Amino acid sequence: MTGRVVKQERAVRTRAALLHAAAETFAEYGFAGTTVSRIAERAGLTLGALYFHFKSKEELARLIVTGQPELVVPQLDSQGLQHAVDLTLTWAHQLLDDPVLRAGARLVMDQELFIKPSVNSYRQWTGILLDDFEQARRRRELRADVDTEAYVRLIVGSCTGAQIHTQLETSHRDLPARVEEMWRCLLPALAVPSVARKVRFGEERARVASS
Amino acid sequence: MTGRVVKQERAVRTRAALLHAAAETFAEYGFAGTTVSRIAERAGLTLGALYFHFKSKEELARLIVTGQPELVVPQLDSQGLQHAVDLTLTWAHQLLDDPVLRAGARLVMDQELFIKPSVNSYRQWTGILLDDFEQARRRRELRADVDTEAYVRLIVGSCTGAQIHTQLETSHRDLPARVEEMWRCLLPALAVPSVARKVRFGEERARVASS
């Protein structure tokens, strides 16, 4: 291996370690309570190393928040409504351990400080779920008069609220159960009965694809 | 009027001015960004005056968060599901202008720093809405198999989420519309059809009782 390749690999590892430390720090202290020094210290690196890779605390927060959806990849293949269910269940389970998702959750109210409204996490997730709902519509899974945008806004809002309340009550431990409960409340209004009966919620739906 | 009465009235006014200033400061800067000095300064009072009335920033935050439900009193009399609808609509409209409700919204994620889990705002609101749902059940407004606790958790969670997202997107301006939309999504699953048709959402439902 040449010296240059070693250097590049080291740079990639350093960058990843800083992002990981940033996520843990944001998850623990929130945006206001996090400083670049705290992040560098947690990564066991210097402030110089941090500023070599990232411009600011704001840039780190932005990368963490916008990077959430690509982390949430259900292991099982599915389509339409079942894919929307799998996505939210996978997110809920994964949030229990993943510092990036925990940080994203903690930063949700502070996004205006470091992210453009057009790409905030609310817009990201509604866009993704709307695709699932459009597919569900094409697959004739939805009741005829369902306002898909209204339901998607309700689902994303309800996941945000459940995340906040379960954080207060059980350090998120109840989040997967709350997400399943949300779907059980909504499916009778949303889905044609034959589809509503077939939607699955078992733990296998919530497993992340190994990368 | 005796000197003592004048003094007592002044104390009541000072206390109210401090609470109002605290609410505005929490709404603007969040829990971490608020200091007692900032609150006293906004109220045009001394730190000594603040500490005469309140022990700490934590006490002020606690009083503001726990004082929310008694502020939200719909002008129109209603029962059961319609009362639950009126309560959430009134909250949503009132939050646009009321610094105590705006502060409560901003402090929702920080509650563990100053409030016991048993009385956090999530517990308060689920308790209040559960009473409405129990009444709705007695009035035969609900479908037979409705899990009232699940729906109430979903409604409170969805209001919290909508509050956060509309803050990001429109400084809460869309919150009343989002709350109405939530009910329109849920009523077909929740209420017997004759009741679902009769629920009203007009602006008169959202007016606060004059005190």
Determine the average pLDDT of the residues in A65-90.
94
CA distances in angstroms from B174 to A171, A211, B165, listed in the order given: 30, 39, 9
Instruction: Note whether B3-64 and B68-209 share their fold.
Output: no
Q: Among A111, A158, A159, A182, which would you mutate to test the B interface (most chain B Cβ atoms within 10 Å of its Cβ)?
A: A158
Rounded to the nearest angstrom, the gap between the alpha carbon of residue B29 and the centroid of all alpha carbons in its chain is: 18
The answer to which of A115-124, B85-94, B139-148, B169-178 has the lowest mean pLDDT is A115-124
In this prediction, residue A4 carries a pLDDT of: 81
> Chain A contacts of B182, Cβ < 8 Å?
154, 157
The answer to which of A21-30, A105-114, B171-180 has the lowest mean pLDDT is A105-114
CA torsion angle A208 A120 B162 B32 (round to 10): 100
Rounded to the nearest angstrom, the gap between the alpha carbon of residue A66 and the centroid of all alpha carbons in its chain is: 9
Whether pLDDT at A116 is above 90: no
Whether pLDDT at A15 is above 70: yes
Q: How many CB atoms lie within 10 A of CB B63?
A: 15
Whether pLDDT at A128 is above 60: yes
Residue that the structure tokens 């439900």 belong to: B69
Q: Output phi, psi for B15, to 5 deg.
A: -60, -45
Q: Are the beta carbons of B161 and A159 separated by less than 8 Å?
A: yes
pTM above 0.80, yes or no: yes
> Chain A contacts of B109, Cβ < 8 Å?
30, 106, 109, 164, 167-168
Rounded to the nearest angstrom, the gap between the alpha carbon of residue B93 and the centroid of all alpha carbons in its chain is: 11
What amino acid occupies position B161?
A: G
Q: How confident is the model at residue A211 (pLDDT cuts 50, 70, 90)?
A: low
What amino acid occupies position A90?
A: T
In this prediction, residue A79 carries a pLDDT of: 95
A158: closest CA among B186, B112, B107? B186
Whether pLDDT at A10 is above 70: yes
Pairs of residues, one from chain A and one from chain B, whose beta carbons lie less than 8 Å apart: 119
CA distances in angstroms from A51 to A13, A54, A100, A181, B33, listed in the order given: 15, 5, 20, 44, 25
In this prediction, residue A1 carries a pLDDT of: 59
User: What is the percent of chain A where pLDDT is above 70?
Assistant: 99
CB B200 within 8 A of CB B82: yes
User: What is the percent of chain B where pLDDT is above 70?
Assistant: 99
- CATH code 1.20.210.10 for B68-209: no
Q: How confident is the model at residue A210 (pLDDT cuts 50, 70, 90)?
A: low
Determine the average pLDDT of the residues in B69-77.
91
**pLDDT tens by residue, A142-200:** 999 899 999 999 999 999 999 999 998 898 999 999 999 999 999 999 999 999 999 99
Q: How confident is the model at residue A51 (pLDDT cuts 50, 70, 90)?
A: very high
Class of domain A3-64: mainly alpha
**pLDDT tens by residue, B193-210:** 999 999 999 888 878 776
In this prediction, residue B211 carries a pLDDT of: 52
- For chain A, the average pLDDT equals 93
Nearest residue in B to A175, CA atom:
B157
In this prediction, residue A147 carries a pLDDT of: 97
What is the residue extent of each domain of chain B?
A: 3-64, 68-209
* DSSP states of A65-88: HHTHHHH--BSS---HHHHHHHHH
Q: Output phi, psi for A104, to 5 deg.
A: -55, -40
Q: How confident is the model at residue A110 (pLDDT cuts 50, 70, 90)?
A: confident
Q: Which of A112, A150, A186 sits opposite B181 (nearest CB)?
A: A150
- For chain B, the average pLDDT equals 93
CA distance B7 to chain A (A): 40
